Amino acid sequence: MAKEEKNGWSLTGKNGKKKIPIKSILDGSILTKDVVLDQLPFILFLTFMAVMYIGNRYHAEKILRETQKAHTELGEMRAESITTASKLMNISKQSVVARMVKEKGLELKEAVKPPKKLMVDGDE
């Protein structure tokens, strides 16, 4: 049932399908056959699509790493912001400000009277 074709391309198997000899793949003679040459644009298209797929994968992984890095930095900056706000709130207390003024030797006095509100007429 198996018969060899004239050009040595392949053997016909039991179910009528063509088998490609391993020797023709290894020595590269399969690339010179008309069937392969007719499919060359499609093979090039598939190769291009595979390269684009690989490139897209690398790009997506790079963006994911950058996103994770930015998320980590955001957490660190948020913690730093909370710490700074806490320190600012602590040093802006009236008792702390009075103590710092006394330590630096500034001749400032704490106001005993509440501030007065000035009213200005809008006509003048």
With respect to residue 71, please indicate whether it lies within any of the assigned structural domains. Answer: yes
The total of structural domains in the chain comes to 1
CA 63 centroid distance within chain:
1
Positions of E strands within 60-106? none
- 3-class secondary structure, 89: helix
pLDDT by residue (tens digit) across 69-98?
999 999 999 999 999 999 999 999 988 988
Mapped onto helix, strand or coil, the DSSP state of residue 91 is helix
Q: What is the pLDDT of residues 26-70, one digit of tens each?
A: 887 777 777 778 888 999 999 999 999 999 999 999 999 999 999
User: Is 103 among the domain residues?
Assistant: no
Residue 69 lies in a domain: yes
Asked whether residue 62 is domain-assigned, the answer is: yes
What is d(CA 12, CA 5) in angstroms, rounded to the nearest whole number? 8
Distance CA 20, CA 7 (A): 13
Strands 11-12 and 18-19: antiparallel
Q: Is residue 61 part of a domain?
A: yes
